[in-house]
């Protein structure tokens, strides 16, 4: 039996885009520029999905507001302008988005990225046209707070029972739980499957073809 939905909300990094290496390398470059104590790759990957304010509070809890502001500025510079590390949509993402859009679903993004970073990548990938609304961590509370989801649903006039959140981190799934929204986990991103399943998603998928198939077979446009 299929489940009806009107609104599908995607996380960005690790869900639609293979960007872990770029994020980690940009953070490492910013840390080195400012001569801060180094952090491991795992420590830097762990904060993907959070807003930068929340991420830096975890990476450098002893850091001053001035140090956090400087690190934020240098990270954004590297990510938007200077990084040689490529990041690309996972294969099949654009086709999936076009298909869902054509079928009449509302599509949205709720991301830990800042607005500047998301707008840059939407323009670079030419995918902004598929989304009806997007929300970023620097214009809302960061995940796992539910504000981004609540604002998206309010903007589109969609109820919680007709909304699905898709993400690769526990931050995404906990946000969905807090907003009273069903979630779907993707296991090919940052957090391991056991951690995702602890958040009680409807199901999980292992790659974009499986995600596309799941949405086509389990979900239909709500009446």
Residue 75, helix vs strand vs coil: helix
Residue 185, helix vs strand vs coil: strand
How many degrees, rounded to 5, is the angle at CA 10 between CA 127 and CA 82?
55
Q: In sequence order, what are the residues at sequence separation of 6 or more whose Cβ sits closer than 8 angstroms to the Cβ of residue 30?
A: 71, 74, 75, 77, 78
| DSSP state for residue 203 in the 8-state scheme | E
Could you tell me the maximum CA-CA distance found in the chain, to the nearest angstrom?
A: 56
Residues identified as active-site: 11, 13
How many degrees, rounded to 5, is the angle at CA 53 between CA 43 and CA 23?
45
- Yes or no: say if 107 and 16 are a contact pair by the CB < 8 Å rule: no
Q: In sequence order, what are the residues at sequence separation of 6 or more whose Cβ sits closer than 8 angstroms to the Cβ of residue 14?
A: 20, 48, 49, 167, 168, 169, 186, 188, 189, 190
């Amino acid at each position: 039996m299929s489940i009806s939905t009107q609104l599908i909300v995607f996380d960005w990094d690790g869900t639609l885009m293979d960007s872990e290496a770029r994020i980690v390398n940009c953070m490492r470059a910013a840390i080195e520029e400012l001569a801060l104590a180094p952090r491991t790759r795992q420590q830097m990957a762990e904060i993907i999905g959070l807003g930068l304010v929340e991420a830096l509070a975890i990476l450098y809890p002893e850091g001053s507001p001035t140090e956090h502001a400087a690190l934020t500025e240098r990270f954004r510079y590297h990510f938007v302008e200077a990084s040689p590390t490529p990041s690309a949509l996972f294969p099949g993402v654009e086709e999936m988005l076009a298909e869902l859009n054509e079928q009449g679903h509302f599509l949205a993004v709720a991301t830990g990225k800042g607005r500047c970073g998301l707008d840059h990548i939407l323009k670079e990938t030419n995918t902004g046209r598929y989304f009806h609304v997007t929300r970023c961590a620097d214009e809302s509370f960061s995940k796992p707070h539910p504000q981004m989801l609540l604002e998206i649903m309010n903007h589109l006039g969609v109820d919680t029972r007709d909304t699905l959140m898709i993400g690769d981190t526990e931050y995404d799934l906990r946000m969905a739980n807090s907003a009273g929204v069903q979630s779907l986990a993707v296991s090919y991103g940052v957090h391991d499957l056991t951690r995702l399943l602890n958040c009680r998603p409807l199901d999980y998928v292992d790659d974009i073809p499986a995600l596309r198939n799941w949405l086509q077979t389990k979900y239909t446009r709500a009446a």
